[in-house]
């Protein structure tokens, strides 16, 4: 089964992201707006219990952090994906490192660019049409994230929450 | 903001429900398959913290329960909704009562019929066309539910998880 760990931002920021996603993100219906902190990994029913314990061990060591988005960026030309860029604060980078090292080690072959996707799988034409406008409108929002969610994926591609982890708390 | 409390069944049962929901449930994209244990209620950001505490107090008192689905039923002629009927075990009824009484009291004007919706908002013609077949195919599945999730609704109607509660545990 496929799992991942994300932060769901506040309703306000999710609504804002969805205003774009509804039009520009084919994954719109599969998951609500989120920032991934541990990318997709495989685990079976037994393994995930161990993973969840380990995630709990990690998340209790980190405090709630400030999620600050201040601009719209693009991953083009790698992929035609637009996103709210999340400032890579030291707290967030440390949390990401904690969730992707030790017993939770992943073979990450890319740099962690914290973000909330608002458009993806665009054609180059679509991308080029909207990137300027979305960057100009921009985004400016800050909030405290105090919890992460471990999700699993259903056969149709949608994601269900398995568990919530409060940062800085034992549960 | 609108909140609700549900149990998400296992991936296996969710995939089965989604096979029908994809065709027959316009809410398919708004939430993954679930059994509601506390219907929609309103709360603001402060109130929900109190509610979450109270839910934690309640859920720690109840043990994981067996979720048993053994037939497809319909709410027609009240509404043209088809569902996997969940056996109303004493454990489940007690948990539902706990989440809808005391400080969590709701003015429930209906009887709790535990279920997982697989089709809704059908025309009478559609309903009558498929009800016989779905009942005949039926469903037969049993599993243990050990957690509930508190959700909130975004402006587009989709639901995001706010918090997980493990039955029988403090967190």
Compute φ and ψ for A73, nearest 5 degrees: -130, 175
Sheet strands (E) in B17-131? 35-42, 65-74, 82-86, 115-119
Question: A30: which chain B residues are within 8 Å (Cβ-Cβ)?
Answer: 29
User: Residue B138: helix, strand or coil by DSSP?
Assistant: coil
pLDDT digits (tens, 9 = 90+) for B8-47: 999 999 999 999 999 999 999 999 999 999 999 999 999 9
Give dist(CA B117, CA B69) in Å, integer.
Answer: 12
Nearest chain B residue to A152 by CA distance is: B11
Question: Has residue B127 got a pLDDT over 90?
Answer: yes
Query: CB A49: neighbour CB atoms within 10 A?
Result: 11
B96: annotated active-site residue? no
pLDDT digits (tens, 9 = 90+) for B50-83: 999 999 999 999 999 999 999 999 999 999 999 9
Residue linked to tokens 């709790």: B112
Give dist(CA B65, CA B85) in Å, integer.
Answer: 16
Question: Which of the 8 DSSP states describes residue A87?
Answer: P
Sheet strands (E) in chain A? 2-7, 35-42, 65-74, 82-86, 115-119, 141-145, 147-153, 159-166
A149: annotated active-site residue? no
End-to-end, the C-alpha distance of chain A in Å comes to 23
pLDDT digits (tens, 9 = 90+) for A39-86: 999 999 999 999 999 999 999 999 999 999 999 999 999 999 999 999
Question: A22: which chain B residues are within 8 Å (Cβ-Cβ)?
Answer: 156
Give dist(CA B94, CA B121) in Å, integer.
Answer: 30
Q: Which of A120, A140, A79, A106 lies closest to A5 in space, CA to CA?
A: A106
Nearest chain B residue to A157 by CA distance is: B15
**Contact pairs from chain A to chain B, CB under 8 Å:** 68
Which residue is catalytic, options A34, A96, A127, A149?
Answer: A34
Q: Is A11 on the interface with B (CB under 8 A)?
A: yes
Q: Is A24 on the interface with B (CB under 8 A)?
A: no
Which residue is catalytic, options B34, B96, B127, B149?
Answer: B34
Alpha-carbon torsion (B9, B12, B13, B18), positive or negative: positive
pLDDT digits (tens, 9 = 90+) for B152-163: 999 999 999 999
- pLDDT reported for residue B170: 66
Where does the pLDDT of residue B105 fall: very low under 50, low under 70, confident under 90, or very high at 90 and above? confident
Q: Mean pLDDT throughout B88-102?
A: 95
Question: Which of the 8 DSSP states describes residue A30?
Answer: T
Question: Has residue B120 got a pLDDT over 90?
Answer: yes
Domains present along chain A, CATH in parentheses: 2-65+87-114+138-166 (3.90.1140.10)
ipTM > 0.90, yes or no: no
| Contact by Cβ (8 Å): B31, B159 | yes
Nearest chain A residue to B6 by CA distance is: A161
Question: Which of the 8 DSSP states describes residue A147?
Answer: E
Alpha helices, H only, B30-167: 45-59, 90-98, 124-137
List chain A pLDDT tens, one digit each, 171 residues.
999 999 999 999 999 999 999 999 999 999 999 999 999 999 999 999 999 999 999 999 999 999 999 999 999 999 999 999 999 999 999 999 999 998 898 777 678 999 999 999 999 999 999 999 999 999 999 999 999 999 999 999 999 999 999 999 865
Which residue is catalytic, options B96, B115, B127, B149?
Answer: B115
Length of chain A, in residues: 171
Whether residues B164 and A164 touch (CB distance < 8 A) is answered with: yes
């Amino acid at each position: 089964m496929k799992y991942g760990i994300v932060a769901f931002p506040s309703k306000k920021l999710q609504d804002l992201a969805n205003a774009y996603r509804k039009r520009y993100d084919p994954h719109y219906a599969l998951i609500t707006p989120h920032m991934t902190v541990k990318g997709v990994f495989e685990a079976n029913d037994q393994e995930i219990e161990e993973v969840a314990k380990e995630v709990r061990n990690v998340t209790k060591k980190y405090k709630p952090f400030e999620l600050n988005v201040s601009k719209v960026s693009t991953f083009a030309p790698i992929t035609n994906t637009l996103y709210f860029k999340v400032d890579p604060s030291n707290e967030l980078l440390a949390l990401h490192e904690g969730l992707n090292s030790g017993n939770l080690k992943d073979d990450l072959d890319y740099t962690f660019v914290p973000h909330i996707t608002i458009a993806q799988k665009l054609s180059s034409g679509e991308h080029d049409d909207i990137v300027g406008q979305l960057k100009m409108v921009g985004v400016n929002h800050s909030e405290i994230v105090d919890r992460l969610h471990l999700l699993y994926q259903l056969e149709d591609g949608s994601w269900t929450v398995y568990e919530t982890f409060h940062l800085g708390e034992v549960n």
